[in-house]
Amino acid sequence: PGAQLPFDPEKKTLVVLGSGWGTTSLLKTLDTTDYNVVVISPKNYFLFTPLLPSVAVGTLNPRSILQPTRYITRHKTRQVSVIEAEATDVDPINKTVTFTDNSEIKGTVSSTTISYDYLVYGVGAEVQTFNIPGVKEHACFMKELSDAEKMQRAFMDCVETAAFPGQDTKEVERLLHTVVVGGGPTGVELSGEIHDFLEDDLKSWYPELAGKVKITLVEALPSVLPMFSKQLIDYTESTFKESKIDILTKTMVKEVKEKSVVLQMPDKSIQEVPCGMVVWAAGNKGRKLTQDLMAKLPQDQTNRRDYMVMKGTNGSIFAIGDCTATSYAPTAQVASQQGAYLARILHQMAKKDNLISRAQQLESMKAQAPAAAAASAEGEVVDTKKKIDEEIQDINRQLGKIKLRPFQYSHQGSLAYIGSDKAIADLPFMNGNFASGGVATFLFWRSAYLSTLFSLRNRTLVATDWMKVKLFGRDVSRE
């Protein structure tokens, strides 16, 4: 009863968990005629994370960087089931997935279990708080769309509260102080975006307050952006200095309070710094579902997973992207290449399975065929066994040609926006590296991301938002 999956008993069932970078890229490349394909994700869309910090300050409209998963699946040759639900359990022995509808509106059924032949596990990661007190309660994150929207509301609330008549000077300073925790690319890009918002818009909308806005970026390591080359780290640090963004390196956030952050300074002294808003961009960790799954599998899941197969699953679970540790960085670039690679592997596997079952069919036909060549009605001599043997040989030849090649990552370079219409790029160039930073790199950054956006629809929306901001400024209204 109810909505049925487009199920073909002749085909194997491929269940895909997640609608992020890895799995969306997989879906784009996947030949859906090979399998019964079921996609399960609590979000019925793909989020273009590189532009999330732009949403947090209102440069981009939230919807411009989303792509409904059905936008991709509806163009596939064979129908794909898309289910908005959260996987709550994976049973690698019985090869089943249990999932639950966690949305506000529920029907009579909101949890069920289905079987899979192959599972693509691409659930991503969640924010790492290191159990630091107050982070969950008082800080904003920068991981999901709702985080960016929450940050935008909180930031504008700080500004409007600071503008309240008669506000105490010290309180105004506190409210307008934003602390960004984590000097990885997320923290750096977000600090740059907040600075742009201040320069381009707040200065004219709130002239009496703009001079008091302060941004502090806190990083526990000796420098920000450890994945970039030294000259680009220096360039970022000097750009931030000009932009009056304070960088505190070798400084660790120990606690987040309602109106302050507690910092451990490089000399190990503790300082409590008043602030209006804290954004937590201090990295990610595996989800509980992933930890539970790992506990059911052999511990030595090697870092090198050449074919994406998880050990101890008999080749039935493939993991891609941020969800499990591999030898590659947890980036969109890696996840999307893994997704496209896995789609090709799954196609080859389906081809192989089809050839093997045809060969088995032929073997049984051969066993039943007459022992000697027989003459047909037209007097032509037909040797069925010989014909079958020839077809089996042909199948074996085709099977011999199917070679599953291991995954090879091709690094296209690292790019980050640092504010003030400047970006930095470390690009692979003739066995070396080409580092560049500045306004030209910013234009490159924009065009690179525009072309990476999955659809013409999203490209148009993002380009229009950029134009609107240039013409009218960012929207400072608070929903």
Contacts of residue 352, Cβ cutoff 8 Å, sequence gap at least 6: 399, 402
43 is in the binding site of which of ligand NAD, ligand FAD, none (Cβ under 5 to 8 A by kind)? Answer: ligand FAD
Site for ligand NAD, residues 305 to 364, rule: CB under 6 A? 329-331
Is 17 among the residues that bind ligand FAD (CB under 6 A)? yes
22 is in the binding site of which of ligand NAD, ligand FAD, none (Cβ under 5 to 8 A by kind)? Answer: ligand FAD
Site for ligand FAD, residues 339 to 358, rule: CB under 6 A? none
Distances in Å between the Cα of 261 and the Cα atoms of 139, 248, 273 are 10, 13, 5
Site string for ligand NAD, 263-302 (x = CB under 6 A): ------------------xxxx------------------
Is 47 among the residues that bind ligand NAD (CB under 6 A)? no
Residue 123 vs 162, nearer CB to ligand FAD? 123
Q: How far apart, in whole angstroms, are the C-alpha atoms of residue 336 and residue 320?
A: 9
Q: How far apart, in whole angstroms, are the C-alpha atoms of residue 443 and residue 447?
A: 6
Q: Least Å distance between CB 450 and ligand NAD?
A: 15
Site for ligand FAD, residues 157 to 216, rule: CB under 6 A? 186
Is 282 among the residues that bind ligand FAD (CB under 6 A)? no
Three-class DSSP category at 460: helix
Residue 73: HSE in the Cβ half-sphere, 13 Å Cα cutoff: 20
279 is in the binding site of which of ligand FAD, ligand NAD, none (Cβ under 5 to 8 A by kind)? Answer: none
Is 179 among the residues that bind ligand NAD (CB under 6 A)? no
Q: What is the DSSP string of 322-365?
A: GGS--SS-S-HHHHHHHHHHHHHHHHHHHHHHHHHHHHHHHHHH
Q: Least Å distance between CB 13 and ligand FAD?
A: 16
Q: 214 near 194, Cβ under 8 Å? A: no
Residue 12: HSE in the Cβ half-sphere, 13 Å Cα cutoff: 20
Q: Least Å distance between CB 187 and ligand NAD?
A: 6
**Which H or E run includes 87?**
strand 86-91
Q: How far apart, in whole angstroms, are the C-alpha atoms of residue 90 and residue 93?
A: 9
Distances in Å between the Cα of 215 and the Cα atoms of 179, 188, 263 are 6, 11, 15
Kindly list the residues in this chain that would bind ligand FAD in the complex (CB under 6 A): 17-23, 40-43, 49-50, 52-53, 86-87, 122-124, 142-143, 186, 287, 289, 321-323, 330-333, 335
Kindly list the residues in this chain that would bind ligand NAD in the complex (CB under 6 A): 50, 132, 181-187, 189, 218-221, 227, 252-253, 281-284, 329-331, 414-416
